[in-house]
């Protein structure tokens, strides 16, 4: 016990809140303070995703014009997912689909799937040695259809500025199930501006489309907010299992590093959106690319789970200060 404090929250901890007003009215939020400068908001009503991420009062993430949106407002038709796309630091895409709306083997699939708009079946937190751990379970299960379950452990270190997410995706049904997942992590101002330095040690960069190809020489360069900007996406391939992406803000001397297993999460996407108020850089590791499940099936990149099978994915986010 620390004799200088009356309550552990003087140093670090997790508090649970509810939002009042607007489309987020009633949503639960875990406010996580690691005592080292990191503050994040985790939403158990939205799959345990991370709505906000801050470091010593500095915003690191992007919050879309939608703001907080409760799952009751989710519309699965076509691209209407965007109407409830809070973005935040992390929006999980999947599990039935990632990317463009499509039809795959007779199943009509919406933009980026439904998991990010499903409330957790269970959510609680524990304090373990040197870590605050949020445990969540989200069930993407339906009668006569897919039965997928995502169990998450979100670990926030109280000894360093590190967040680790470990997800277990399980097929709880009796049929072979296709599944996709993409961790849509969104960098925002002031971490992100035209001076930010992006480093991705990939060995190959592929543009998603002709528009992205026209400016591929500048995939690593950020720009000022530009009216009428059209998004550009780049797919990065790594030489080995060490997937990494780093964004550094030289004015504040603050950096953020994402690390993951590039063999397991074999579809890394850079989403460059330099619009006015739509100003965001997505650094997204996943087990597919966001071209639609039908395209991933044709290219042989679609993953499957046998009945009773589980798959574990893990990645880490580190925030640091100093020279790049």
Q: What CATH number should be reported for the domain holding residue 135? A: 2.70.98.10
Inform me whether the pLDDT recorded for 1 exceeds 90. Answer: no
Task: Please tell me the distance from the alpha carbon of residue 138 to that of residue 116, in angstroms, as a whole number.
Answer: 9
Q: Tell me whether strands 62-63 and 310-321 are parallel, antiparallel or unpaired.
A: unpaired
Inform me whether the pLDDT recorded for 86 exceeds 90. Answer: yes
pLDDT by residue (tens digit) across 166-202?
999 999 999 999 999 999 999 999 999 999 999 999 9
Q: Would you say residue 5 lies in a domain?
A: no
Where does the pLDDT of residue 269 fall: very low under 50, low under 70, confident under 90, or very high at 90 and above?
very high
Where does the pLDDT of residue 290 fall: very low under 50, low under 70, confident under 90, or very high at 90 and above?
very high
Mean pLDDT of all residues belonging to the chain: 97
* HSE (side-chain half, CA atoms, 13 Å) at 44: 21
Q: Would you say residue 2 lies in a domain?
A: no
SS (H, E, C) 108-125: EECCCCCHHHCCCCEEEE
First to last CA, the chain: 38
Q: Would you say residue 82 lies in a domain?
A: yes
Task: Please tell me the distance from the alpha carbon of residue 168 to that of residue 314, in angstroms, as a whole number.
Answer: 9
Q: Are 168 and 148 in contact (CB under 8 A)?
A: no
Q: What is the DSSP letter of 4?
A: T
pLDDT by residue (tens digit) across 121-174?
999 999 999 999 999 999 999 999 999 999 999 999 999 999 999 999 999 999
Q: Would you say residue 3 lies in a domain?
A: no
Q: Would you say residue 4 lies in a domain?
A: no
Q: What is the DSSP letter of 296?
A: H
Q: Would you say residue 7 lies in a domain?
A: no
Q: Tell me whether strands 177-187 and 197-199 are parallel, antiparallel or unpaired.
A: unpaired
Domain count, the chain: 1
Share of the chain above pLDDT 90, in %: 98
Q: What is the mean pLDDT of residues 261-268?
A: 98
Task: Please tell me the distance from the alpha carbon of residue 94 to that of residue 133, in angstroms, as a whole number.
Answer: 23
Where does the pLDDT of residue 294 fall: very low under 50, low under 70, confident under 90, or very high at 90 and above?
very high
Q: What is the mean pLDDT of residues 13-36?
A: 97
Inform me whether the pLDDT recorded for 287 exceeds 90. Answer: yes
CA-wise closest residue to 113 among 76, 149, 73, 70: 76
Task: Please tell me the distance from the alpha carbon of residue 59 to that of residue 239, in angstroms, as a whole number.
Answer: 32
Q: Tell me whether strands 204-207 and 162-171 are parallel, antiparallel or unpaired.
A: unpaired
Inform me whether the pLDDT recorded for 37 exceeds 90. Answer: yes
Q: Would you say residue 130 lies in a domain?
A: yes
Inform me whether the pLDDT recorded for 324 exceeds 90. Answer: no
Number of H helices, E strands in the chain: 2, 24
Inform me whether the pLDDT recorded for 46 exceeds 90. Answer: yes
Assign 82 to helix, strand or coil: helix
Inform me whether the pLDDT recorded for 41 exceeds 90. Answer: yes
Q: What is the pLDDT of residue 78?
A: 87
Inform me whether the pLDDT recorded for 302 exceeds 90. Answer: yes
321 to 157, 250, 268, 280: CA distances (angstroms): 16, 10, 25, 21
CA-wise closest residue to 267 among 105, 99, 153: 99
Q: What is the mean pLDDT of residues 233-256?
A: 97
Here the tokens at position 115 are 């998991």
Where does the pLDDT of residue 323 fall: very low under 50, low under 70, confident under 90, or very high at 90 and above?
confident
pLDDT by residue (tens digit) across 55-84?
999 999 999 999 999 999 999 998 999 999
Q: Name the pTM for this structure.
A: 0.97
Q: Would you say residue 83 lies in a domain?
A: yes
Cβ neighbours of 324 (radius 10 Å): 12
For residue 17, the enclosing domain spans 12-321
132 to 48, 60, 161: CA distances (angstroms): 14, 20, 12
29 to 14, 97, 115, 131: CA distances (angstroms): 10, 26, 17, 19
């Amino acid at each position: 016990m620390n004799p200088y404090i009356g309550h552990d929250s003087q140093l670090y901890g997790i508090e649970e809140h509810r939002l009042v007003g607007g489309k987020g009215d009633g949503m639960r939020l875990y406010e996580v303070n690691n005592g080292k400068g990191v503050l994040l908001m985790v939403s158990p009503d939205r799959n345990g995703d991370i709505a906000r991420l801050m470091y010593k009062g500095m915003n690191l993430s992007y919050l879309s014009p939608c703001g907080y949106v409760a799952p009751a407002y989710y519309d699965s038709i076509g691209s209407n997912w965007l109407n409830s796309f809070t973005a935040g630091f992390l929006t999980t895409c999947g599990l039935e689909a990632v990317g463009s709306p499509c039809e795959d083997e007779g199943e009509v699939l919406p933009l980026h799937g439904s998991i990010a708009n499903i409330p957790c079946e269970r959510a609680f937190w524990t304090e373990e040695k040197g870590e605050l751990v949020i445990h969540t379970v989200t069930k993407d299960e339906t009668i006569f259809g897919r039965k997928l379950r995502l169990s998450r452990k979100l670990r926030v270190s109280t000894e360093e500025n590190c967040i680790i997410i470990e997800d277990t995706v399980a097929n709880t049904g009796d049929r072979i199930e296709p599944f996709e997942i993409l961790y849509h992590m969104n960098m925002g101002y002031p971490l992100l501006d035209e001076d930010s330095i992006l480093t991705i040690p990939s060995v190959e960069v592929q543009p998603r489309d002709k528009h992205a190809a026209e400016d591929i020489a500048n995939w690593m360069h950020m720009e000022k907010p530009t009216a009428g900007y059209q998004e550009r996406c780049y797919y990065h391939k790594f030489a080995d299992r060490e997937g990494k992406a780093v964004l550094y803000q030289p004015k504040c001397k603050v950096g953020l590093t994402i690390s993951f297993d590039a063999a397991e999460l074999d579809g890394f996407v850079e989403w460059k959106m330099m619009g006015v108020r739509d100003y965001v850089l997505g650094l997204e590791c996943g087990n597919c690319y966001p071209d639609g499940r039908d395209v991933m099936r044709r290219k042989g990149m679609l993953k499957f789970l046998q009945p009773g099978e589980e798959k574990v994915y893990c990645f880490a986010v580190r925030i640091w200060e100093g020279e790049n």
